[in-house]
Amino acid sequence: MEVIWFLFFAVLLAGYFALEGFDLGVGLLLPVLGRTRANRDRMVAAMAPFVLANEVWLVAVAGTLFGVYPRLEGEVLFGLYPLVVAMLLSWILRDAGLWFRRRLDGARWRGFWDAMIAFGSLGLSFGWGMALHAAATGFTSSPVHPVGVLLGVLTTLLFAFHGWTFLAWREPGAFGGVRSGRALVVSGLVSALPVIGLLVGAMPFLLEHSAPAATLNVLSVMALPFAPIMLGAQVWVWRTFRPGKGAVPLPSFF
Amino acid sequence: MDVLELARTQFAVTGSLHFLFVVLTLGLAPIVALMHTRHVISGSALHGGMTRFWGQIYVVNYALGIVTGLVMEFQFGLSWSGLSDYAGGVFGAPLAMETLVAFFLESTFLGLWIFGWGRLPKWLHLACIWLVTLTAYASAFFIMVANSFLQNPAGSVLRDGRLELVDFGALLTNKTLVFSFPHVIGAGLLTGGLVLAGASAYQLRRRTRESVFFDRSLRMGVGVASVGAFLALGFGYAQFGGVQEGKFDGSTGAAVPLGFMIEIGQLLAFVLLFILLPLIYWLPRWRWTHVVLMLMTPVPFALAILGWMAREIGRQPWMVWQKLTVADALTPGLTSGMVTASLIGFAGVLGLLAVVDYVLIARIVRRGPRDLDLGAVPAGARPAPAMTF
């Protein structure tokens, strides 16, 4: 049972990197590829239908952490206190940018929230690199350790590349590239590599700190039957918003 | 303030902000789903317009529900790791169900609903908003299961200094849950209904051109709010049977909000059920009632906060009733500096965003059902159907 829940947790966390990675990447690329308002609208519209289905993977990760690894939950989040607060604020500003940018028409209004999307995406991408390093060292090293900073740069670059691949898949040619679905899967896997590495290393430790059997049994009975529905809902999103003629209608809600 | 008070303030501020938006979500979700259903069945432009207008208010409100909820979820680990350490084996189960299953599906289906206009077959698109409603209520249920466990730690035993789950059924039939959950749902419907009625009253008072649109909305709002008031009041009294012994004795912080909530709530329910509801047919034309409805609109939000103050301050000093104090649940090593910094960050950012969000909602209400972003037809795709009501 511990192994099943470890795999569930690992899939959720790696899935978050592979999926939300391209949303953050598109956010990072907004100031680079989106020099004009029309371009930024297209970039945001391209990722918009996926964001809600992607970011929620991290909400599920945190919930699983609480349910399956209750004694690690506090240790992990408290061990990363300043980083978690900064990343949460980044996440909030990124989301607010998406929800608010098109609610008013002014150029300055939209420009401000576009900047918040880019800024929030940067904070999250960079923060993830530092968080992975801190987790790998058992929360003993300083969050601004050079290796952590380097890892932050790496995750940021990986997400940006993943975001570019996504745009080239969903809107072929619009931003200078054409990529297949297979290329998108590969860039997703590459984006998730750092966290997969960490999960493999932390596996024995996580298995040891699983919740008691009674809790895992209840969670298994209650939650696992929904796994196919959750997967089905995600697949539905990807089928509905696959590329094609008129795939990215403007105006989009975000 | 010491670190404990700061951490409590942080939870109270973010929790209150969160619920202000959640309570409206719970009320508007089924209302929008009903409007969408009537639109799909009858194909009427009126109901399509109502779905898009009230749906847009629903999703703009939803944005703040999400971002405040994120802070809530992570705060448990940041400030209250003693809770997960001591009771995580029990408390974690409903919390995991909420985030892992209910909210995961809710967010996924909401994305499909918002961006699925014109892309999904109409019946599947309709199914999305009902699934959003269902999972939103499931989310609320599991959060109430978790909260009720803190009020009355049923279904668990103490083993080696930690609480262990022995009976999940007892968590779901907790005496502090069974009447409180429908009470919360009633509060949601009351809030959603009154927002519908208050916003419609504002438009009618301004002699809107869309009078049929807002006549219907106003009547529906008063109807839903009446159902909500009835549920909230009935289950509100019923839940006193499950309140922990001595909870409100000598706790001014809990008893005063409770008293105000009951007094104001009764008055509100009286006006709704015995004055406005019988007059529902004439309400759209009687302009003096519009002022009354507009004045009533903010009241359920205040009542909801008072209700949570009574429930949560009444639990003090316990985190888990008579098992774990909030002081013992505080993360060891947490300093006032850390909490102060994060409190300023969260309260400042979320507070500002909340103000912006309410201004945006007020603007949608003022502009009425024109140029809506939700379900907008792509530029140049086809001419928008004439909206004559």
User: Is the CB of residue B326 less than 8 Å from the CB of residue B163?
Assistant: no
Q: Is B22 on the interface with A (CB under 8 A)?
A: no
- Written as six digits, the tokens of B221 are 């709002």
**Residue B312 to residue B148: CA distance in whole angstroms:** 10
pLDDT at B242: 86
Asked if A78 and B99 come within 8 Å (Cβ–Cβ), the reply is: no
Contact of B329 with chain A, judged by CB distance below 8 Å, is answered with no
Residues 266-325 of B with CB under 8 A from A: none
Q: What gap in Å lies between CA A117 and CA A46, rounded to an integer?
A: 14
- Whether residues A60 and B376 touch (CB distance < 8 A) is answered with no
Which of A122-136, A228-242, B81-95, B243-257 comes out lowest in average pLDDT? B243-257
Amino acid at B285: R
pLDDT at B384: 47
Q: Does B340 contact chain A (CB < 8 Å)?
A: no
Q: Closest Cα partner for B187 from B311, B71, B320?
A: B311
- Amino acid letter at B17? L
Q: Is B31 on the interface with A (CB under 8 A)?
A: no
A-facing residues of B in 43-62 (CB < 8 A) are: 59-60
- Using pLDDT thresholds of 50, 70 and 90, give the confidence band for residue A75: confident
Q: Which of B103, B342, B360 sits opposite A56 (nearest CB)?
A: B103
* Residues 158-217 of chain A whose Cβ lies under 8 A from any Cβ of chain B: 211-212, 214-215
Closest CA to A169 of A180, A155, A182, A157: A180
Chain B residue numbers with beta carbons less than 8 Å from the beta carbon of A218 are: 93, 165, 168
B93 close to A (CB below 8 A): yes
Which of B66, B74, B84 has its CB closest to that of A70? B84
Q: How far is A83 from chain B (nearest CA, A)?
A: 11
Residues from chain A that touch B353, judged by Cβ atoms under 8 A, are: 92, 96
pTM of the model: 0.94
What percent of chain A has a predicted confidence (pLDDT) above 90?
80
Contact B108 A60 (CB under 8 A): no
Residue B388 pLDDT: 43
Cβ–Cβ under 8 Å, residues A70 and A211: yes
**Inter-chain contact B73–A253, Cβ cutoff 8 Å?**
no
pLDDT tens-place values along chain B, 389 residues long: 899 999 999 999 999 999 999 999 999 999 999 999 999 999 999 999 999 999 999 999 999 999 999 999 999 989 999 998 899 889 988 999 999 999 999 999 999 999 999 899 999 999 999 999 999 999 999 999 999 999 999 999 999 889 999 999 999 999 999 999 999 999 999 999 999 999 999 999 999 899 999 999 999 999 999 999 999 999 999 998 888 888 888 788 899 999 999 999 999 999 999 999 999 999 999 999 999 999 999 999 999 999 999 999 999 999 999 999 999 999 999 999 999 999 999 999 999 999 999 999 999 999 999 889 999 877 655 544 444 44
Nearest chain A Cα to B98, which residue? A63
Identify the CA nearest to B99 among candidates A12, A79, A15, A179. A12
What value does the mean pLDDT take over residues A79-106?
95
Q: What is the DSSP code (8-state) at residue B167?
A: -
pLDDT at B389: 44
* Contact (CB<8Å) A233/B120: no
Interface predicted TM-score (ipTM) of this complex, two decimals: 0.95
Cβ–Cβ gap B107/A230 under 8 Å = no
Pick the range with the lowest mean pLDDT from A113-122, A204-213, A234-243: A204-213
Give the one of A49, A62, A93 whose C-beta lies nearest to B111's C-beta: A49
Contact between A66 and B110 using a beta-carbon 8 Å cutoff: no
Query: What distance in Å separates the CA atoms of residue A119 and residue A97, rounded to the nearest whole number?
Result: 10
- In sign, the C-alpha dihedral spanning B78, B82, B85, B90 is negative
pLDDT, position B379: 63
Task: Report chain B residues whose CB lies below 8 A from the CB of A63.
Answer: 73, 95-100, 103
Which residues is B320 bridged to in the sheet?
B324
